[in-house]
Structure 1
Amino acid sequence: MALDHGILLETGTNEFEIVEFIIKSDTKEHHFGINVAKVREVIRFPEIVKVPDAHPSVVGTANIRQKLIPIIDLAQWLELKYDEDYKEKKIIVTFFNHQYNGFVVDEVVRIHRITWADIKDYSSITDFSLVETVLGVVDIGGNLIQLLDFEKIVLELNPETGLKDIEVDYSKAPQREGKTVYLAEDSSVIRRFLHSHLEQSGYTTFSFENGKLLLNKMKEQLPDLVVTDLEMPVTDGAFVVKTIRSHPDTRDLPVLVFSSLASEENERKVMSVGANRFIGKPDTDILVNEVDKYLI
Structure 2
Amino acid sequence: MTGILNSVDQRTNLVGQNRLELLIFRLGRGQRFAINVFKVQEVVKLPKLRPVPHSHPHVCGVAQLRGKAVPVIDLALAIGLGKTRDLDNASLIVAEYNRTVQAFLIGAIETIVNLNWEDILPPPKGTGRQHYLTAITRVDKDIVEILDVERVLADIAPMNTSVSTQMLDSELIERARALRLKALVAEDSATALGQVRETLAELGIAVEAAQDGLQALQRLQSVVARGVTVTDEYLLLVTDAEMPEMDGYRLTAEVRANPQLASLHVIMHTSLSGSFNQAMVKKVGCDGFLSKFAPDELAQLVLQRLREFLNA
TM-score by length of 1: 0.86
Name the CA distance, whole Å, in 2 between partners of 1:3 and 1:41: 10
1:100 aligned onto 2:101: yes
Would the aligned equivalents of 2:86 and 2:107 in 1 still touch at CA under 8 Å? no
Would the aligned equivalents of 2:237 and 2:266 in 1 still touch at CA under 8 Å? yes
Matched residue of 1:239: which SS? helix
Name the CA distance, whole Å, in 1 between partners of 2:130 and 2:163: 30
Aligned length: 289
Which runs of no fewer than 5 residues in structure 1 stay unpaired? Answer: none
Match of 1:187 in 2: 189
Note the C-alpha offset of 1:100: 1.0
> Cα RMSD (Å) of the superposition?
2.5
Note the C-alpha offset of 1:180: 5.2
**Which of residues 6, 9, 22 in structure 1 aligns to 2:9?**
6
Matched residue of 2:273: which SS? coil
Match of 1:229 in 2: 240
Amino acid in the other structure paired with 2:220: M
Query: 1:10-29 maps to which residues of 2 (within 5 A)?
Result: 10-25=14-29, 29=30
Note the C-alpha offset of 1:205: 4.8
Matched residue of 2:89: which SS? coil
Amino acid in the other structure paired with 1:275: C
Name the CA distance, whole Å, in 2 between partners of 1:150 and 1:55: 16
1:136 aligned onto 2:135: yes
Matched residue of 1:110: which SS? strand
Query: CA offsets per residue over residues 32-65 of structure 1, 9 Å max, x none?
Result: 1001122111011112211112233322101112
> Greater shift after overlay, 188-197 or 240-249?
188-197
Which runs of no fewer than 5 residues in structure 2 stay unpaired? Answer: 308-312
Amino acid in the other structure paired with 1:232: M
TM-score by length of 2: 0.82
Query: 1:101-116 maps to which residues of 2 (within 5 A)?
Result: 101-116=102-117
CA 1:164–1:263 in structure 2 vs 1: closer, same or farther (change >3 Å)? Answer: farther
Name the CA distance, whole Å, in 2 between partners of 1:61 and 1:113: 32
Would the aligned equivalents of 1:12 and 1:241 in 2 still touch at CA under 8 Å? no
Name the CA distance, whole Å, in 2 between partners of 1:12 and 1:76: 34
Amino acid in the other structure paired with 1:186: D
Name the CA distance, whole Å, in 2 between partners of 1:81 and 1:174: 48
Query: CA offsets per residue over residues 133-157 of structure 1, 9 Å max, x none?
Result: 2222211111211111111111112
1:241 aligned onto 2:237: no
CA 1:188–1:87 in structure 2 vs 1: closer, same or farther (change >3 Å)? Answer: closer
Query: 1:207-286 maps to which residues of 2 (within 5 A)?
Result: 207-219=209-221, 220=223, 221=228, 222-223=230-231, 224-286=235-297
Would the aligned equivalents of 1:3 and 1:41 in 2 still touch at CA under 8 Å? no
Name the CA distance, whole Å, in 2 between partners of 1:204 and 1:33: 33
Would the aligned equivalents of 1:211 and 1:234 in 2 still touch at CA under 8 Å? yes
Matched residue of 2:129: which SS? helix
Match of 2:154 in 1: 155
> Greater shift after overlay, 38-47 or 252-261?
252-261
Amino acid in the other structure paired with 1:78: I
CA 1:294–1:83 in structure 2 vs 1: closer, same or farther (change >3 Å)? Answer: closer
Would the aligned equivalents of 2:134 and 2:188 in 1 still touch at CA under 8 Å? no
Matched residue of 1:194: which SS? helix
Would the aligned equivalents of 1:244 and 1:250 in 2 still touch at CA under 8 Å? yes
Amino acid in the other structure paired with 2:76: A
Note the C-alpha offset of 1:275: 1.3
